[in-house]
Amino acid sequence: MDKTPARRPALIREFRLADWFTLGNAVCGTGALFSTMTYLDSRSAMHVFFAAGLVIAALVFDVLDGRIARWRQQDSLLGRELDSLADVISFGVVPAVLAYACGMNGLFDRIVLAYFVACGVSRLARYNVTAEMLSGAAGKVTYFEGTPIPTSVVLVLMLAFAAYRGAIGDQLWMGAFAFGGFTLHPLVLVFALSGSLMISRIRIPKP
């Protein structure tokens, strides 16, 4: 019986063109996190705009990596895992951290934002596990179960617009409520809705 271990990917040598675009997604997401942290230090709304712009750039890379993989017929397990990890950064962690920086920093806010990230991670894990099953006879996934995590770009744009209007921090839209000595900003509930839609069974046609 042959017990030779399977050859492990040699990373850089195994990377395909689409994988480099996926890394571009992750780099943009990381840059958005740095911009968000700089905003916390400087309180200049310009850094919120930088963060939002980098998330949009991450979305462009995310769209292109899939198109390139299909064009070159180079879909791979490594590429799929890279894509999910990059998406967690750019479309899961970044929107949550940006929301926190913009004023949704009460205890209940943090719980909701953690729920949002957990939903995004769960959504990506479910997709990776079920992608082959959902691909059907055509060999291509024809629909998403739950909203894709990149839809969180809408939340990032909302925060950027709020920053433009000066409606962040103490001026956050819809104000704040205190329960048991802890704070909840009603605006954070859009993150709860977004996360819930990600893990739902709603079928969305995949372009």
Condensed to tens digits (0 to 9), the pLDDT of residues 107-149 reads 999 999 999 999 999 999 988 887 666 655 555 666 778 899 9
Q: Which domain holds residue 157?
A: 14-205
Report the CATH number at residue 176. Answer: 1.20.120
- Global pTM reads 0.86
- How confident is residue 40, by pLDDT bands cut at 50, 70 and 90? very high
Does 158 reside within a domain?
Answer: yes
Does 4 reside within a domain?
Answer: no
Token pair belonging to 55: 């998330």
User: Residue 138's pLDDT is what?
Assistant: 53
The rounded distance, in Å, linking the Cα atoms of 119 and 198 is 6
> Cβ(100)–Cβ(117) under 8 Å?
no
Q: Can you list the positions of beta strands (E) in the chain? A: 143-145, 177-179, 182-184, 203-205
Which of 73-82, 94-103, 152-161, 190-199 has the lowest average pLDDT?
A: 73-82
Q: Is the pLDDT of residue 1 over 60?
A: no
Does 9 reside within a domain?
Answer: no
The rounded distance, in Å, linking the Cα atoms of 197 and 207 is 19
Does 1 reside within a domain?
Answer: no
Split into its structural domains, the chain has a count of: 1
Please give the residue that has the higher pLDDT: either 35 or 74.
35
| Residue 171 backbone zone (phi > 0: left; psi -120 to 50: alpha; other: beta) | alpha
Does 156 reside within a domain?
Answer: yes
Instruction: List Cβ neighbours of 40 (8 Å cut-off, separation of 6 or more).
Output: 101
Does 2 reside within a domain?
Answer: no
Q: Is the pLDDT of residue 9 over 60?
A: no
Convert the pLDDT of each residue in 47-92 to its tens digit.
999 999 999 999 999 999 877 766 666 666 677 788 889 999 999 9
Does 7 reside within a domain?
Answer: no
Does 73 reside within a domain?
Answer: yes
> Cβ(143)–Cβ(194) under 8 Å?
no
User: Residue 200's pLDDT is what?
Assistant: 93
**Maximum CA extent, the chain:** 69
